[in-house]
């Protein structure tokens, strides 16, 4: 299986990653993260490329990859919305806000908008309980959500 | 109230080396390097500090369990803050990253460790930047690297991001994850202190725990031990969330009455509602009903009340809620986060979910409660790791204190539907 | 009681076991059964299934007996109310989403889940919701079916893949309730040892596709027999029903297979019912009207009649042309009994020592201990010489991996090609193709110099191994304390095998050294064939031709004492018309011997060629007369594995066809030998009486798990003038190394084989230097020529060997790669060009 190669820049980054650990195997999550962030998914081809770097079987890469929720087999949108639905957010009305968000995006929870801009996922506690309800879009945390605030945030993203 | 961790927490630019040093940051290092490593371990033991991640194991004791004369050893800071209701470590690292680094340096020196990792949950990508910048500054200042401050002591610290798995907060699962494996917990023994990261002796400590160490070194174990109760020393960060007027992270001296935390610090119940229940230590500990609000917030009092201090997350629930809804949400969480390795957890969480879901659809049968209790008994303390026990906590405690909430659903069961 | 033992109490019974024993294994010793699903002694603890909960005094919660080491004075209880409730609870969880399709499940009757539920479970279930609907039977590979609904996620199979086979091809995917066993991207699970997951699956999730719905397990007749593919002789159980083959399973024997078998052993059985099986005696029509001294067989003649005529014909030719005019090429695949009787027929009956079974050089006996396979685990160093266990002796591959990863053994190898086990070795030295003798001598001399033994001051080693690397190898060997040398005599060219024996002698001189060797020829019974005297220069038991007195004493005054012809020499004599009659037993010189077309031509010149084989072969086509051999599945007897262990191969299937030993017995009778063996064990008994080393071997001593034969005395290897020096190749030609490939498409694994998906195209592996010189790129089609034979192959530029050589794995009969080697058996030089 071919079709995936690391860019020169990524190769450099991979070297830096390997340098952090006395054993190569620890680089598994960082490499998967590198791919996920670049490709918005981890394709089988990428898993093969990672397995070669890691000197392990591609099945092993997939085994690890499929354990963690931040890696996706299917491509996700440009903006990955993780909407917390755990207890503190639930107590603060996240369910309705999630429904609102889905409606605003015109998709169901778990789906990606046709233009691949947004993916909306239900997420377990993200550790911003004191500002519940909250969501995380890509690397940014947004707390104290209201319908109005969600609208503003989504509109501000291009 | 005495503030140790949150003393300057909202000070502008506290996260910078300059401001942190102005506030006395990193001054503990010289003091520490003047002592033998064992003395630091003894001081931490004497301080009575207990792990702030959830298990509450005495920190100094944990350090002293490291396999003798086996090197290299590793330090892993558990920054996989994922326990529902808990967000104190995030605030600490976001606003005061150097405090963690200073604590890690002290721990590493005390335990003769030369490599440390900060295992951040994958979603804390923003914190990773902050921690990396802080580490870079600490290297630049000579607080990290070779021969730190001329002491001959070397230490490298790296950050490592997880990728979305609650179970990686369990220390052995964290080590597996850090080694590039699935985050399934490991068999114990061997404990990490004997065979941890890369099968070498390893200290795994929570962010908050490590952040306390500079204070103990600077001010002395006695001063720290003078705070709190007999068995619960010092202060604790409490993340108060849910139906309170002023949710937030608060630092309290252990032994503070819960009433004070909910009503004084967090401003009480909002919207004119009444307190119904609270979960004092994150979702994995049994909830307590409102009438226990005068229990004092410390390890032994909470244990006596049948619950635990856990990670220090106070989830406050008012009387507008039917507890079954909350319970279902928590079961759903544990079902989602069960690694699937062992049978009772993998199967039990899902079965409980199916039952409670059925109850909420008004399709429950009267013997469901009894059955749930029995399932919980079959899960409790029989799984590979404590995740199953954690799932059992809200179920058993909700039945214990709020059986009537379940019965609400049975009242509405249509005649002849079951 | 030693310091390494622990005494504890289980259910009131005291038991003393070695430290580190798991409670569950300690319990077994005193017949206390603790139920398990995930625990497997060979795989190690997992702690997944939680079935083995027990109560341990002073411990607040129930403990899993499979993860817990025994401790002094530990008090374990396995039947308390608390335990019973725990077990019931775990079983209920286990069965929660397990379909109740036992009536149609192949595991039925031998299912731990059924058994444990029967013994420890509740009579009914409280589960009233939808069970998970996971995928029912889907192919995990062409030979394994996975039923994910039945899977209880115990992780035995994936742990096997990780810890035993160590390739992590089968893994747990996803998390939590969505956990499932799978492969990368749903690709087939096609490893060399994949089938073992069927044996260890505690439920009916992983099943043998060919056995699905064929029979209920309790209706099977299970024969405890041996695999007949390679020299490991793994123990298997062959299940049959109404004399029809059903399946093969592993039958654990720690001294041989450690509980595992390879996929060839499990599924490579189609030859037993191949359409090419020879079932009757027949006379081939001789088209070119060449004279034959063989009488025409009557129509429908019995095998027995045919055998009698064969004996008469050989007798006649031997009488007319002298005993040296007849010869026998026996088989490293035949049983000891067959081999013994055939050598008796030729030596005793016809007075000829023209007896052999191979086309390479070797002699019986070792100058050091003959190690059993299990000794690999207890050796500090394993030195592989010209051996590629992964392809040649698969179970040895698993044993070496285990030794390296779990027993602290160091692996070092000397080979002319890269092998799969290199990733486990601390040092892999590659000599140039054909230069093994030099490389081995350099190692021997290096050791000799360290030991102050006579040796040349310096070696002008042209083998391509640097002096530095060799020095390091010498050091590893010298300081090993306990070393096991595994060498493949059939992969050594010229007289290199004697170099190995000199090396062994030298290693044995290192003070306090424990040294043993395993002669690891890949063929089923290569060792037995040597032991039984299928050699031109040795009587059975390594009795050298030079020891005439002993020969006469043992075998009578008339016993021939002149060194006979080797197999290659017989072919050469046949070519000259000097050899008149040849009997070939379960061997196919046309395909397997060097010499290419010349072998065919030589055999055609014989007055009489008799082939006694189980399958039609190229050689059988040339024969005047063909006799059927029963072969594995139908035959019985003993074989001697690479570790010197003699075990019983039993017949699982009945046939009306006379067994080989009976046919040879009849032939002996025709020559006047009056011995009448009633059963094969009578032959075994005679072997015990007459073959040194086999005194202790009997049906009884061999039993179910075998018995090691005593070491065979070693002949002096220092002199051998039989070596064939490889000539210089023409300019630009490359030295050929034929490598073994486990799943070669040959007579045994024919086109209808269950393992056809493993067949590989013909490839030639080059060093990049040669490839560059020849303008060859990876993927090009190339033509290799020698001896007027051309072989087409896909080029692989993977540095599998040093420059100057080319490695061609023998992937099929069609490829005919052995034809590239000259008839003298030396190293082949091949011309290579891009097509």
Q: Has residue B256 been placed in a domain? A: yes
Chosen from C175, C178, C203 to mutate, greatest number of chain B CBs within 10 A? C175
Phi, psi angles (nearest 5°) of residue C707 = -150, 135
Mean pLDDT confidence for C800-820: 94
C723: pLDDT strictly greater than 50: no
Q: Has residue B4 been placed in a domain? A: no
CB-CB under 8 Å, A63 with C172? yes
Mean pLDDT confidence for C321-338: 97
Mean pLDDT confidence for B75-85: 97
Chain B residues within an 8 Å CB radius of A140 = 126
Is the CB of residue C168 less than 8 Å away from at least one CB of chain A?
Answer: yes
Q: How far is A46 from chain C (nearest CA, A)?
A: 12
C180: pLDDT strictly greater than 70: yes
C289: pLDDT strictly greater than 50: no
In angstroms, what CA-CA distances link C715 with B122, B147, C502? Answer: 68, 65, 12
Nearest to C210 by CA among C139, C161, C259, C130: C139
pLDDT tens-digit map of C625-682: 999 999 999 999 999 999 999 999 999 999 999 999 999 999 999 999 999 999 999 9
Q: How far is A114 from chain B (nearest CA, A)?
A: 25
Mean pLDDT confidence for C514-542: 97
* Whole-angstrom distance, CA of residue A27 vs CA of residue A13: 11
Is the CB of residue C426 less than 8 Å away from at least one CB of chain A?
Answer: no
pLDDT tens-digit map of B213-246: 999 999 999 999 999 999 999 999 999 999 999 9
Name the interface residues of A facing B (CB cutoff 8 Å).
Answer: 20-23, 25-30, 32-33, 54, 63-64, 67-71, 82, 85-88, 90-92, 124-132, 136, 139-141
Chain A residues within an 8 Å CB radius of C175 = 66-68
C136: pLDDT strictly greater than 70: yes
Q: Which residue of C has its CA nearest to B350?
A: C177
Greater model confidence, C493 or B42: B42
Chain C residues within an 8 Å CB radius of A62 = 171, 173, 182, 184-185
CB-CB under 8 Å, A25 with B181? yes
User: What rounded mean pLDDT belongs to chain B?
Assistant: 96
- The set of chains that have 3 or more CB pairs under 8 A with C is A, B
Output the pLDDT for position C216: 94
Q: Specify the CATH superfamily of domain C369-519.
A: Dimethylsulfoxide Reductase, domain 2 (3.40.228.10)
In the structure, what pLDDT confidence band is assigned to residue C242 with cuts at 50, 70 and 90? very high
Judge if B127 and B183 occupy the same domain. yes
Output the pLDDT for position C306: 92
C297: pLDDT strictly greater than 90: no
Range of the structural domain that residue B288 is part of: 235-318
Chain A residues within an 8 Å CB radius of C176 = none
**Domain A8-65 carries which CATH code?**
1.10.10.1590
The closest CB to that of A59, out of C174, C175, C183, belongs to C183
CB-CB under 8 Å, B335 with C178? no
In the structure, what pLDDT confidence band is assigned to residue C97 with cuts at 50, 70 and 90? very high
Nearest to C206 by CA among C131, C134, C106, C112: C106
C299: pLDDT strictly greater than 80: no
Output the pLDDT for position C721: 39
Output the pLDDT for position C294: 61
Picking from B274, B290, B318, the residue at the C-terminal end of a domain is B318
Output the pLDDT for position C789: 87
Q: Which residue of C has its CA nearest to B378?
A: C89
Chain B residues within an 8 Å CB radius of A33 = 122, 161, 163
Q: Has residue B139 been placed in a domain? A: yes
Q: Which residue of B has its CA nearest to C152?
A: B343
Instruction: With beta carbons less than 8 A apart as the criterion, state whether B283 and A127 touch.
Output: no
Output the pLDDT for position C293: 56
Mean pLDDT confidence for A64-84: 97
Q: How many contacts (CB atoms, under 8 Å) link A and B? A: 141
Mean pLDDT confidence for C49-73: 96
Quick one: DSSP state of residue C716? P
Total structural domains in chain B? 3
Chosen from C184, C189, C420 to mutate, greatest number of chain A CBs within 10 A? C184
Mean pLDDT confidence for C711-740: 69
The closest CB to that of A127, out of B86, B183, B198, belongs to B86
Query: What is A79-156's CATH topology?
Result: Glutaredoxin (3.40.30)
- In the beta sheet, which residues pair with residue C146? C138, C206
Mean pLDDT confidence for C321-327: 97
Q: How far is B221 from chain A (nearest CA, A)?
A: 31
Mean pLDDT confidence for C408-436: 96
Picking from B295, B318, B341, the residue at the C-terminal end of a domain is B318
CATH for B241: 3.10.20.600
Mean pLDDT confidence for C49-56: 97
Output the pLDDT for position C527: 97
Q: Has residue B99 been placed in a domain? A: yes
CB-CB under 8 Å, A56 with C184? no
Q: Percent of chain C beyond pLDDT 90?
A: 88
Q: How many contacts (CB atoms, under 8 Å) link B and C? A: 91
**Domain C5-96 carries which CATH code?**
3.10.20.740
- The set of chains that have 3 or more CB pairs under 8 A with A is B, C
Output the pLDDT for position C732: 80
Judge if B340 and B314 occupy the same domain. no
**Domain C301-362+526-708 carries which CATH code?**
3.40.50.740
The helix or strand, by DSSP H or E, that contains position C469, with its residue range, turns out to be: helix C467-478
CB-CB under 8 Å, C127 with B338? no
Instruction: With beta carbons less than 8 A apart as the criterion, state whether C321 and C296 touch.
Output: no
CB-CB under 8 Å, C62 with B335? no
Quick one: DSSP state of residue B58? B
Q: Has residue B9 been placed in a domain? A: no
Mean pLDDT confidence for C220-229: 98
Q: How far is B345 from chain C (nearest CA, A)?
A: 9
Nearest to A87 by CA among A121, A119, A127: A127
ipTM metric: 0.96
Instruction: With beta carbons less than 8 A apart as the criterion, state whether C180 and C169 touch.
Output: no
Q: How far is B223 from chain A (nearest CA, A)?
A: 30
C291: pLDDT strictly greater than 90: no
- Count Cβ neighbours within 10 Å for each residue of B398-408 and write b for 16 or more, e otherwise: bbebbeebbee
C725: pLDDT strictly greater than 60: no
Mean pLDDT confidence for B261-282: 97
CB-CB under 8 Å, C184 with A47? yes
- Token reading at C160: 């096997």
Output the pLDDT for position C2: 75
CB-CB under 8 Å, B330 with A67? no
CB-CB under 8 Å, A60 with C171? yes
Mean pLDDT confidence for B11-29: 97
Picking from B199, B225, B251, the residue at the C-terminal end of a domain is B225
Judge if B241 and B366 occupy the same domain. no
Chain B residues within an 8 Å CB radius of A85 = 329
CATH for B70: 3.40.50.11540
C133: pLDDT strictly greater than 90: no
C457: pLDDT strictly greater than 90: no
The closest CB to that of C89, out of B337, B346, B382, belongs to B382
In the structure, what pLDDT confidence band is assigned to residue C722 with cuts at 50, 70 and 90? very low
Quick one: DSSP state of residue C347? I
Judge if B32 and B152 occupy the same domain. yes
**Which DSSP string do the residues of C11-61 spell out, in sequence order?**
TTEEEEEETT-BHHHHHHHTT-----SS-BTTTB----S-TTEEEETT-SS
Q: Which residue of C has its CA nearest to B372?
A: C126
Chosen from B188, B332, B341, B348 to mutate, greatest number of chain C CBs within 10 A? B341
**Domain C130-273 carries which CATH code?**
3.30.70.20
Q: How far is C91 from chain A (nearest CA, A)?
A: 26
- The set of chains that have 3 or more CB pairs under 8 A with B is A, C
User: What rounded mean pLDDT belongs to chain A?
Assistant: 96
**Which DSSP string do the residues of C720-775 spell out, in sequence order?**
-----PPPPPPTT-EEEEEEEEEEEESSSS-TT-TTGGG----EEEE-HHHHHHHT
Mean pLDDT confidence for C813-828: 84
Domain boundaries, chain C: 5-96, 130-273, 301-362+526-708, 369-519, 734-834
Q: Has residue B174 been placed in a domain? A: yes
Q: Which residue of B has its CA nearest to A29?
A: B180
In angstroms, what CA-CA distances link A70 with A65, A86, B124? Answer: 9, 17, 12
* Whole-angstrom distance, CA of residue C253 vs CA of residue C652: 19
Chain C residues within an 8 Å CB radius of B344 = 50, 89-90, 93
Going across the sheet that includes C707-708, the strands are C637-640, C645-649, C707-708
The closest CB to that of A63, out of B89, B182, B339, belongs to B182
Mean pLDDT confidence for C452-468: 89
User: What rounded mean pLDDT belongs to chain C?
Assistant: 93
Domain boundaries, chain A: 8-65, 79-156
Output the pLDDT for position C458: 85
Chain A residues within an 8 Å CB radius of B163 = 29, 32-33, 68-71
Output the pLDDT for position B415: 59
Name the interface residues of C facing B (CB cutoff 8 Å).
Answer: 45, 47-51, 53, 60-62, 67, 85-86, 88-90, 92-94, 96-97, 126-127, 129, 152-153, 155, 172, 174-179
In angstroms, what CA-CA distances link A53 with A25, A26, A50, B160? Answer: 10, 12, 5, 18
CA angle (C60, C62, C67) in 5-degree steps: 120
Query: What is C734-834's CATH topology?
Result: Barwin-like endoglucanases (2.40.40)
- In the beta sheet, which residues pair with residue C427? C412
CB-CB under 8 Å, A59 with C168? yes
C716: pLDDT strictly greater than 90: no
Judge if B183 and B40 occupy the same domain. yes
Where does residue B141 rank: exposed (0-12), middle (13-18), buried (19+ CB within 10 A)?
A: middle
Instruction: With beta carbons less than 8 A apart as the criterion, state whether C381 and C355 touch.
Output: no
Q: How many CB atoms lie within 10 A of CB A5?
A: 11
Question: What SS3 class is residue A81?
Answer: strand
Q: Percent of chain C beyond pLDDT 70?
A: 96
């Amino acid at each position: 299986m071919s079709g995936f190669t690391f860019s020169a820049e990524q190769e450099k980054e991979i070297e830096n990653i390997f340098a952090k650990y006395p054993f190569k195997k620890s680089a598994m999550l960082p490499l998967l993260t590198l791919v996920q962030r670049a490709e918005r998914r981890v394709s089988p081809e990428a898993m093969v490329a990672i397995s070669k770097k890691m000197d392990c079987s591609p099945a092993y890469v997939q085994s690890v990859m499929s354990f963690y929720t931040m890696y996706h087999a299917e491509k996700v949108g440009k903006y990955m919305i993780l909407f917390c639905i755990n207890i503190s957010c639930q107590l603060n009305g996240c369910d309705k806000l999630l429904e609102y968000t889905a409606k605003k995006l015109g998709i169901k929870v778990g789906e990606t908008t046709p233009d691949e801009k947004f993916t909306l996922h239900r997420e377990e506690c993200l550790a911003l309980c004191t500002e519940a309800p909250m969501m995380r879009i890509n690397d940014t945390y947004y707390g104290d959500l209201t319908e109005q605030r969600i609208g503003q945030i989504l509109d501000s993203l291009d | 109230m005495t503030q140790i961790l949150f003393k300057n927490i909202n000070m502008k630019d506290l996260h910078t080396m300059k401001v942190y040093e102005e506030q006395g940051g990193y001054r503990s290092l010289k003091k520490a390097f003047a002592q033998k490593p064992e003395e630091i371990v003894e001081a931490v033991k004497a301080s009575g500090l207990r792990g702030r991640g959830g298990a509450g194991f005495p920190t100094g004791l944990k350090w002293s369990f490291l396999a003798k004369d086996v090197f290299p050893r590793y330090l892993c800071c558990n920054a996989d803050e994922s326990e529902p209701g808990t967000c104190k470590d995030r605030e600490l690292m976001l606003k005061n990253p150097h405090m963690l680094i200073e604590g890690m340096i002290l721990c590493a020196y005390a335990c003769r460790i030369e490599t440390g990792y900060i295992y951040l949950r994958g979603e804390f990508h923003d914190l990773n930047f902050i921690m990396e910048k802080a580490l870079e500054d600490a290297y630049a200042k000579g607080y990290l690297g070779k021969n730190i401050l001329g002491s001959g002591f070397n230490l490298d610290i790296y950050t490592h991001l997880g990728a979305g798995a609650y179970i990686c907060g369990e220390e052995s699962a964290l080590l597996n994850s850090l080694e590039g494996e699935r985050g399934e917990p490991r068999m114990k023994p061997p404990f990490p202190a004997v065979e941890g990261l890369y099968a070498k002796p390893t200290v795994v400590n929570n962010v908050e725990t490590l952040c306390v160490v500079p204070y103990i070194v600077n001010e002395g174990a006695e001063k720290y031990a003078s705070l709190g109760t007999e068995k619960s020393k010092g202060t604790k960060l409490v993340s108060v969330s849910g139906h309170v007027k002023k949710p937030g992270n608060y630092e309290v001296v252990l032994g503070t009455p819960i009433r004070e935390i909910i009503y004084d610090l967090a401003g009480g119940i909002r919207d004119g509602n009444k307190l119904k229940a609270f979960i004092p230590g994150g979702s994995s500990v049994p909830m307590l009903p409102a009438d226990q609000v005068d229990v004092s917030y410390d390890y032994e009092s909470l244990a006596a009340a049948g619950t635990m201090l856990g990670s220090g997350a106070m989830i406050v629930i008012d009387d507008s809620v039917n507890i079954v809804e909350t319970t279902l949400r928590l079961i759903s969480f544990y079902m989602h986060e069960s690694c699937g390795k062992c049978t009772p957890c993998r199967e039990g969480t899902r079965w409980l979910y199916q039952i409670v879901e059925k109850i909420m659809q008004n399709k429950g049968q009267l013997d469901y409660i009894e059955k749930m209790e029995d399932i919980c008994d079959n899960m409790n303390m029989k799984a590979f790791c404590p995740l199953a026990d954690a799932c059992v906590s809200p179920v058993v405690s909700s039945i214990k204190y709020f059986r009537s909430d379940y019965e609400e659903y049975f009242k509405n069961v249509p005649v002849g539907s079951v | 009681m030693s310091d390494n033992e622990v005494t504890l109490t289980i259910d009131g019974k005291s038991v003393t076991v070695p430290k580190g024993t798991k409670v569950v294994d300690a319990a077994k010793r005193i017949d206390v059964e603790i139920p398990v699903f995930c625990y497997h002694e060979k795989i190690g603890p997992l702690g997944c299934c939680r079935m083995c909960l027990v109560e341990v005094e002073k411990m607040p919660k129930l403990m899993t007996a499979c993860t817990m080491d025994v401790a002094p004075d530990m008090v374990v209880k396995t039947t308390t109310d608390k335990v019973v409730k725990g077990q019931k609870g775990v079983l209920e969880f286990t069965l929660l989403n397990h379909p109740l399709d036992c009536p149609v499940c192949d595991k039925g009757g031998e299912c731990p889940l059924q058994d444990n539920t029967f013994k420890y479970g509740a009579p009914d279930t409280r589960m009233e919701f939808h069970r998970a609907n996971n995928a029912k039977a889907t192919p995990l590979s062409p030979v394994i079916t996975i039923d994910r609904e039945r899977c209880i996620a115990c992780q035995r199979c994936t742990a096997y893949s990780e810890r035993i086979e160590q390739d992590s091809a089968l893994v747990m995917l996803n998390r939590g309730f969505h956990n499932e066993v799978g492969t990368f991207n749903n690709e087939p699970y096609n490893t060399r040892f994949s089938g073992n997951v069927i044996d260890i699956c505690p439920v009916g999730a992983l099943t043998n596709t060919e056995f699905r719905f064929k029979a209920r397990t309790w209706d099977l007749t299970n024969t405890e027999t041996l695999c007949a593919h390679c020299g490991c002789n793994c123990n298997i159980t062959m299940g049959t029903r109404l004399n029809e083959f059903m399946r093969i399973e592993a039958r654990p024997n720690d001294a041989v297979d450690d509980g595992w078998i390879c996929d060839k052993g499990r599924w490579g059985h189609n030859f037993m019912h191949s359409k090419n099986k020879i079932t009757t005696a027949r006379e081939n029509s001789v088209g070119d009207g060449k004279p034959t001294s063989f009488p025409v067989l009557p129509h429908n003649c019995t095998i027995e009649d045919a055998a009698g005529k064969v004996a008469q014909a050989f007798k006649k030719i031997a009488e007319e042309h002298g005993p040296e005019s007849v010869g026998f090429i026996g088989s490293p695949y035949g049983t000891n009994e067959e081999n013994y009787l055939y050598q008796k027929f030729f030596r005793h009956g016809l007075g000829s020592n023209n007896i052999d079974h191979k086309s390479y050089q070797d002699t019986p006996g070792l100058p050091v201990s003959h190690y059993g396979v299990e000794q690999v685990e207890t050796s500090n160093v394993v030195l592989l010489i010209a051996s590629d266990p992964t392809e040649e002796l698969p179970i040895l591959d698993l044993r070496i991996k285990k030794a390296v990863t779990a027993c602290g053994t160091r692996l070092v190898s000397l080979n002319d090609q890269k092998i799969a086990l290199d990733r486990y070795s601390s040092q892999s030295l590659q000599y140039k193709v054909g230069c093994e003798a030099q490389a081995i001598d350099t190692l021997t001399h290096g050791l000799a110099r360290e030991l102050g033994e006579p040796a040349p001051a310096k070696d002008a080693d042209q083998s391509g191994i640097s002096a530095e690397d060799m020095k390091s190898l010498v050091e590893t060997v010298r300081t090993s304390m306990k070393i096991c040398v595994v060498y493949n005599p059939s992969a050594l060219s010229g007289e290199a095998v004697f170099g190995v024996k000199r090396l062994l002698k030298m290693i044995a001189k290192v003070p306090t050294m424990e040294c043993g060797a395993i002669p690891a020829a890949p063929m089923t019974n290569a060792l037995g064939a040597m032991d039984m005297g299928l050699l031109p220069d040795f009587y059975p038991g390594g009795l050298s031709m030079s020891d005439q007195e002993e020969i006469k004493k043992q075998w009578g005054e008339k016993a021939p004492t002149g060194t006979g012809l080797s197999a290659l020499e017989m072919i050469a004599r046949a070519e000259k018309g000097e050899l008149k009659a040849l009997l070939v037993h379960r061997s196919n010189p046309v395909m397997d011997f060097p010499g290419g077309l010349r072998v065919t031509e030589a055999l055609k010149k014989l007055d009489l060629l008799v082939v006694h084989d189980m399958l039609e072969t190229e050689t059988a086509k040339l024969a005047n007369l063909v006799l059927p051999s029963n072969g594995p599945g139908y035959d019985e007897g003993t074989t001697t594995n690479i570790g010197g262990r003699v075990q019983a191969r039993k017949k699982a299937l009945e046939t009306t066809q006379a067994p080989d030993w009976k046919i040879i017995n009849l032939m002996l009778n025709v020559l006047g030998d009056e011995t009448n063996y009633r059963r094969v064990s009578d032959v075994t008994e005679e072997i015990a009486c007459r073959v040194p080393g086999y005194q202790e071997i009997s049906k009884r001593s061999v039993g179910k798990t075998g018995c090691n034969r005593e070491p065979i005395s070693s002949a002096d290897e220092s002199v051998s003038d039989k070596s064939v020096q490889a000539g210089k190749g023409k300019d630009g030609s490359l030295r050929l190394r034929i490598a073994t490939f486990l799943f070669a498409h040959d007579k045994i694994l024919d086109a209808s084989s269950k393992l056809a998906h493993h067949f590989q195209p013909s490839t030639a592996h080059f060093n990049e230097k040669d490839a560059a010189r020849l303008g060859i790129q990876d993927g090009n089609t190339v033509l290799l020529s020698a001896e007027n034979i051309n072989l087409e192959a896909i080029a692989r530029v993977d540095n599998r060997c040093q420059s100057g050589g080319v490695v061609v794995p023998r992937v099929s009969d069609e490829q005919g790669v052995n034809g590239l080697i000259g008839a003298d058996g030396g190293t082949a030089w091949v011309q290579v060009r891009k097509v």
